[in-house]
Amino acid sequence: MFDLDGLEQVDPVALEVNFNIDGDVLSMRCPREGVTPHDVQKSFEQRGVLYANRIRFVLTDDGTRTLNPRSDTLPLTPAVIKLEGPGSVLTAVKAILGGGARPAASKEAKPPKKAGLGPVQRSAFRGYQAELHCRHAETEAEYLQAANERRRSREEFLRNVEVRRKEEQDRWAREEAEWANRRRGQLPQGRS
């Protein structure tokens, strides 16, 4: 009824690999023995982790040795493999492996940092603001003075142009009158 002969040949222990990601040890079940880092990278990419091929697998049990993604196989459960790579990729892998919530034992919770400036930085910033406002007021006064100077210069130029234009009109009128008088003197007496 039951075939128990093949049961002794199969190891009942699940095939798992342990990864150390930022101090958290997370495990992953493997489909078979002899899994390479490249296989794991492909698995992560199939689950939606972009740039999973940038992850480095570092074996820390026998010194520090980076595993070759295509030729080295991952050691199983008692060994821990450290994952190194870009932070966003490691965060995505951590979320996939179920490590989204940080275990309390791995790192102590630090109190949140207060946002904002301290009293020294605040006073330095206020001094900087005051200096900036003074400079702005000075440059604005200089700009207004220069604008007034340009306006006065333009008005003087226009007055000079108007005076020259009137002088030129008067000169033309005098010359025209002289020309007309000379012309009358040159005409024969019978014509007027």
Residues 77-127 have pLDDT tens digits of: 777 888 888 888 888 888 888 754 344 344 455 566 666 667 888 888 889
Domain that holds residue 175: 117-192
Mean pLDDT of 127-146: 90
Q: At what angle do helices 37-46 and 87-96 cross, to 10 degrees?
A: 80
On whether the CB atoms of residues 25 and 18 are closer than 8 A, the answer is yes
> Is residue 145 included in any domain, yes or no?
yes
* Residue 162 confidence class, pLDDT cut points 50, 70, 90: very high
- 96 burial (CB, 10 Å; 0-12 / 13-18 / 19+) is middle
Looking at residue 169, its amino acid is Q
**Helix ranges restricted to H, the chain:** 37-46, 87-96, 119-186
> Is residue 103 included in any domain, yes or no?
no
CA distance linking residue 21 with residue 183, whole number of Å:
111
Same domain, 128 and 175: yes
Task: Count up the domains in the chain and report the number.
Answer: 2
With a pLDDT cut of 70, the percent of the chain lying above it is: 78
* Domain C-terminal end among 61, 96, 131: 96
pTM of the model: 0.45
